[in-house]
């Protein structure tokens, strides 16, 4: 009987990766595909070679491997359909589903091996299905990349002729450091009975202005930062993730500063941002054992049968956050003036730290997942210590006193209500100026309007502070 070429396991191994990439193409660089695709192909090859010890029928071996891959990559999707989101970190549902998946694989593999069929027709059918799925994903990726390129060109040219800053001598470095979900001092006291005055007093003693009544303009990171980095409120046409991402990475603020010789640096503290390397020098975070593992790879892992184990043992997010602080401490050594945009996903949940440092990923009960004040406060206490140390380092190492904005992108979720979701920590270090343009209720949309007016002789009108 004619033997068909067997390749469907390799295509089924890369299809879930390509599918997830196509779905998130606006936020994920194509280079993030390299590691997961390499691991998937090598793993598939090892499985195929290993099963030769059981049967010499290549059709059977390939079908068993494809069956395993279908179970492996569908695990997270099935779990999310059957169980609530909090079940991702709960032992019982994962143990149940893993046991069921193992049973299905053993039973399925047993019947395939014991079958007297040659499976040649099934092999031909699976080859065609695999080719079709991969082809569709590649077409979607191509369409998505074209849209992203066109959007980028539109954004780069937008308002280009109106961009202007005055060159100033002895230009200060400008740090825009986002501490994700860092709540205001009075909010922490009211909601969590946490006294953060020691930190705000420290900042005040170092010359910072702490805006004690500040609120965010929006309650989501992308909308908030797209607004603050472009010094304006969002318009209806700005809504949608591709547009927001482009507004964040190629912002009006960065273009203005680059036009007068600033070096644009993005520091990734577990945020992730596709395409930042087109506009900025990107500091990538370090993964476990010094291996750089992308946000995309971790999101992919969360859809597979590795998810329960990765969530318990992974320190991915913590490593990214710690690496960001190391990268920020090195920036004063750069000779030319720099604009540093850093997004640190902390004290945002999950609770990766206690007050003294790294801790293991917590196994949540379902009712705790979205309401974990202990984890949030552990993150907050630790990140506050890191920020104080970082501020001391930056201020002591800088030849020219830098401009520093320490700011949250939005308020607390889960255990905060109403206006508390907008109430943010917001502090400014403006050396050589009298803080006359700052006020206790200033919002992020006006942050760079103030900085440019004070340091670059612009005349931006301050907008009305609104939370939308």
* Residues 353 and 420 occupy one common structural domain: yes
Q: Are residues 181 and 92 in the same domain?
A: no
Q: What is the pLDDT of residue 284?
A: 59
Return the pLDDT at 294: 67
Q: What is the pLDDT of residue 240?
A: 83
Mean pLDDT in the chain? 85
Domain total of the chain: 2
In a domain? residue 400: yes
C-alpha–C-alpha distance, residues 251 and 235, integer Å: 15
pLDDT at 151 over 80: no
96, 116, 147 - which closes a domain: 147
pLDDT of residue 340 exceeding 50: yes
Angle between helices 241-249 and 120-157 (to 10 degrees): 50
Same domain, 140 and 204: no
Burial of 198 (0-12, 13-18, 19+ CB in 10 A): exposed
Q: Does the structure show a pLDDT above 80 at 104? A: yes
Task: Let me know if residue 164 belongs to a domain.
Answer: no
Using 50, 70 and 90 to split pLDDT, how confident is the model at 421? confident
Do residues 203 and 306 share a domain? yes
Residues 134 and 183 in one domain: no
Per-residue DSSP letter, 410 = S
Q: What pLDDT sits at residue 440?
A: 96
> Which of the pair, 91 or 376, is modelled with greater confidence?
376
Domain at 195, CATH number: 3.40.720.10
pLDDT category at 163 given cuts 50, 70, 90 is low
Q: Does residue 88 sit in the same domain as residue 193?
A: no
Q: What token pair was written down for 457?
A: 């002789």
Residue 153 belongs to a domain? no
Provide the pairing of β-strand 209-210 with 426-429. Answer: antiparallel
Higher pLDDT, 135 or 84: 135
CA 333 to CA 303: how far, in whole Å?
41
Tokens at 356, concatenated: 């003294």
For residues 203 and 427, give the distance between their C-alpha atoms in angstroms, rounded to a whole number: 8
Q: What's the whole-number mean pLDDT along residues 423-431?
A: 97
The per-residue DSSP string of 180-240 comes to: TT-B-HHHHHHHH----HHHHHHHHHTTPEE-TT-B-S-SSHHHHHHHHTTTSPPPGGG-S
Check residue 1 and give its pLDDT: 44
β 403-407/426-429 pair status:
antiparallel
421 within a domain of the structure (yes/no): yes
Q: Does 72 lie in the same domain as 210?
A: no
In terms of domains, do 174 and 142 share one? no
Is residue 288 domain-shared with residue 435, that is, in the same domain?
Answer: yes
Q: Is residue 154 part of a domain?
A: no
Residue scoring higher pLDDT (371 or 181): 181
The angle at the Cα of 373, spanning 368 to 379, to the nearest 5 degrees, equals 115
Same domain (yes/no): 213, 266: yes
pLDDT exceeds 60 at position 332: yes
Do 115 and 240 lie in one domain? The reply is no
Would you state the pLDDT for residue 373?
A: 85
Task: Give the model's confidence band at 180: pLDDT under 50 very low, under 70 low, under 90 confident, else very high.
Answer: very high
| 190, part of any domain | yes
**pLDDT digit string (tens) for 304-313?**
988 877 655 4
Is pLDDT above 60 for 369? Answer: no
Tell me, yes or no, whether 61 and 202 share the same domain: no
CA-wise closest residue to 407 among 396, 422, 418: 422
DSSP 254-323: HHHHHTTTPEEEEEEES---TTGGGTSEEEPPP-GGG----HHHHHHHTTSTTHHHHHHH--HHHHHHHH
pLDDT-derived band of residue 13, with 50, 70 and 90 as boundaries? very high
| pLDDT, tens digit (0-9, with 9 covering 90-100), for 19-42 | 988 887 766 777 788 889 999 999
- The model's pTM: 0.73
Residue with tokens 């690496």: 323
Judge whether 365 lies within some domain: yes
Domain ranges, residue 433 = 170-455
Q: How far apart are CA 387 and CA 174, in angstroms?
A: 16
The mean pLDDT of 80-90, rounded to a whole number, is: 68
DSSP state of 83: S
In a domain, 325, yes or no: yes
347, pLDDT greater than 80: yes
CB contact at 8 A, 402 and 337: no
264 pLDDT above the threshold of 80: yes
């Amino acid at each position: 009987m004619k033997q068909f070429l067997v390749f469907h396991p390799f295509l089924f191994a890369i299809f879930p990766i390509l599918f997830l990439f196509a779905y998130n193409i606006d936020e994920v660089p194509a280079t993030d595909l390299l590691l997961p695709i390499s691991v998937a192909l090598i793993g598939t090859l090892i499985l195929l070679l290993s099963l030769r010890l059981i049967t010499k029928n290549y059709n059977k071996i390939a079908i068993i491997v494809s069956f395993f891959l279908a179970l492996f990559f569908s695990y997270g999707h099935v779990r999310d359909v059957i169980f609530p989101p909090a079940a991702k970190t709960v032992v019982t549902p994962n143990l149940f589903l893993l046991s069921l998946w193992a049973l299905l694989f053993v039973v399925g593999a047993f019947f395939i091996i014991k079958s007297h069929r040659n499976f040649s027709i099934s092999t031909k059918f699976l080859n065609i299905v695999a080719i079709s799925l991969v082809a569709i994903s590649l077409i979607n990726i191509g369409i998505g990349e074209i849209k992203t390129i066109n959007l980028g060109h539109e954004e780069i040219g937008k308002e280009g002729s109106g961009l202007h800053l005055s060159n100033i001598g002895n230009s200060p470095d400008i740090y825009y450091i986002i501490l994700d979900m860092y709540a205001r001092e009075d909010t922490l006291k009211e909601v969590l009975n946490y006294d953060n005055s020691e930190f705000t007093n420290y900042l005040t003693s170092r010359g910072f202005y702490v805006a004690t009544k500040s609120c965010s303009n929006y309650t989501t990171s992308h909308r908030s930062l797209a607004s603050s980095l472009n010094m304006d409120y969002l318009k209806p046409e700005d809504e949608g993730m591709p547009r927001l991402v482009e507004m964040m990475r190629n912002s009006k603020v960065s273009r203005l500063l680059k036009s007068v010789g600033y070096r644009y640096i993005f520091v990734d503290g577990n945020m992730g941002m596709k395409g930042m390397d087109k506009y900025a020098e990107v500091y990538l975070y370090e993964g476990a054992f010094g291996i750089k593992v992308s946000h995309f790879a971790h999101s992919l892992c969360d859809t597979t049968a590795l998810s329960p184990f990765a969530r318990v043992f992974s320190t991915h997010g913590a490593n990214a956050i710690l690496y960001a602080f190391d990268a920020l401490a090195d920036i004063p050594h750069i000779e030319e003036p720099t604009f540093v945009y850093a997004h640190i996903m902390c004290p945002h949940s999950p609770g990766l730290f206690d007050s003294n440092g790294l801790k293991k990923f917590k196994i949540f009960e379902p009712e705790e997942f979205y309401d974990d004040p202990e984890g949030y406060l552990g993150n907050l206490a630790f990140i506050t210590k890191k920020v104080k140390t970082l501020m001391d380092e930056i201020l002591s190492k800088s030849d020219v006193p830098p401009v520093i904005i320490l700011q949250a992108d939005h308020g607390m979720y889960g255990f905060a209500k109403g206006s508390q979701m907008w109430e943010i920590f917001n502090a400014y270090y403006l050396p050589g100026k009298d803080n006359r343009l700052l006020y206790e209720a200033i919002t992020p949309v006006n942050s760079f309007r103030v900085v440019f007016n004070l340091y670059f002789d612009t005349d931006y009108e301050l907008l009305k502070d609104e939370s939308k």
